[in-house]
Amino acid sequence: MFQDKTLVCKDCGNEFVFTAGEQQFYAEKGFENEPQRCKGCRDARKGSRGERPARELHRAICAECGNETQVPFIPRDDRPVYCRDCYSARQAL
């Protein structure tokens, strides 16, 4: 049913083979578009995305136990902030 196809990479312009097995996989997953990049360019694109930058943490004092903690948001004076342990204990109630 499927036959290997030669496609041209839109990034590097090199030809690459879209195999019958890959076409079957695409069909099973419901993908309608053929790949536009060769494996090398796809891998390079994935690698260039990199990891997500680390969250900026802000110091705060837990409203429950009074211990210093770090949270990924800027604490406001009108809202209580809890450390991980106290937050988990409150969620369990």
SS3 24: helix
pLDDT of residue 93: 80
Locate the domains of the chain by residue range: 5-49, 58-92
- What's the pLDDT tens digit per position in 10-59? 999 999 999 999 999 999 999 999 999 999 999 888 877 766 677 899 99
| Cα–Cα distance measured from residue 34 to residue 22, given in angstroms and rounded to the nearest whole number | 10
In the chain, the N- to C-terminal Cα span, in Å, equals 59
pLDDT of residue 51: 65
pLDDT at 6 over 80: yes
pLDDT at 2 over 70: yes
User: Model pTM greater than 0.95?
Assistant: no
